[in-house]
A and B are shown apart, each in its own frame.
Chain A
Amino acid sequence: MNYFADSLLAALALISSFDPAIYRIVATSVSISLIASLIAACLAIPCGVTTALNSFRGKKTVQHLLNTLMAMPTVVIGLLLYGLFSRLGPLGHWGLLYTPSAVIIAEAILIFPIMMNLTITAVNSADPRLKPTLISLGASPFSLAYHVVSVTRFAILAAVITGFGRAIGEVGAAMMLGGNIEGFTRTMTTAIALETSKGEFELGLALGILLLLIAFILNFALSWLQGTKS
């Protein structure tokens, strides 16, 4: 008990002392996840809105595929991208392995199906009269999508936040593709795994607390958005 309590106190001391090593890791983690979320959102929102607003052959298959990809283990994505980015892989000459870019790509791929699926759900949950109303008022396909996104923006933002939450908590692909290099690709989750294995429980715990804090802030933002929507 003393061990845990002492470690917790030491972790809190590390956080309150604004230890630069800890906050560098937090900054790396947040920046990688933010960029990954931004890239995924830029692709997933248009794809999700287009899928939701149009009927086409294979639409159900697309949704089944997205549901499957949402449950895909992160290490599988890490493994596949490792094969692509490793020196002998087809994209090895890009030199992306063990760089933040590789982690960003992996996280963006990981959260794309989540964001796209939740965007489809967000658009489908809009009032069923919205689309026919806009069409009858003369909306072009682009302005239809624009106004649908505008009406469902809180639900779509919730999809982006959920994706960000998934990205910042990701460990498997970040470890395999980033290599956990200090000050470069070391994220909060990979640092926790490393520090705990080294016996540096306090540092791991401090990062764990900060990760929980970020998760709490995200959930708070989600609840606020849902409250605003309703």
Chain B
Amino acid sequence: MKPLRHAVIVGPSLALALVMATPAAAKPADPPSWRPVASEKLIKLPTNYLKKSLDHDFAQSALSGAIQDADSEIGLKGQTLDDLRTAIEQADGELQVELRHQFLAQKREFITLMKRKADLRRRHLQTKQRTLERLLKKLGQEKGAMTPARVQLVAQQQQARARFKGSLAKVDLAVLASPAVPESKYAQEYAANMAAAEALAAAIRAHPMNSQARQDGQPASKADFIRQMLADTQAGVAVLEQEQNVIGYMAKLVALDALALSESVMDAELTDSDAPRTAGPAAAVKYFVN
């Protein structure tokens, strides 16, 4: 088959395939996935570590590997497109038509890869969003457990502790005043352990990994931090939708280019054709007038 004829047949079918196939690519049998669990352990992690833990979990998943593979494939395909464009500029005649056809086919594959990557990224963002929503819900459930009776109890316990701390020295003086009575084992060991615990607590407070997450310069609570992460993820989904629109426009442009290529090849074939032009009756009048 001649390249020109080949382009004429394949051009419209390529355009049709692009328009029809772009929204839904063929799905693999076992799609790569990421299955994070919104566990109690995750909720109890420090806010800064929560994000790192989720990111680390994702980096270990098959979905992350698939996104990286798609990225490298897109990079290679971009190089191929560059090479073809340079070759088209240097070629002419039938070879140029053939190269233009190749260029369109490669563009189509590039778009398919971009769409695949966008789908994978969407899956990642949607999974992350669901996980964060579940975390927020669990956190809310913990807060929701603070019924009025429980709030009152906690307040009473805080008052009791404050009163106990305030009267500790006085009580010690009153009860342990007699030198004949030694301090109890509990009191002695508690004091020793307390000093050790305070030293450790100070070290934990000063530890760089224990620094509290901040939002607009203010210390953020765990719920605030998760909500911020959720908002960022939703923003990522919105940007991804916009990117998919761009991919759609790319596909449309490739389809139009394919139609233009097909039409230009057909025009050239018609110009070269040996078929006789059909004449009107006026041209045949000379045969009838003597």
Q: Do A and B bind each other?
A: no
B residues contacting A by CB (< 8 A) are none
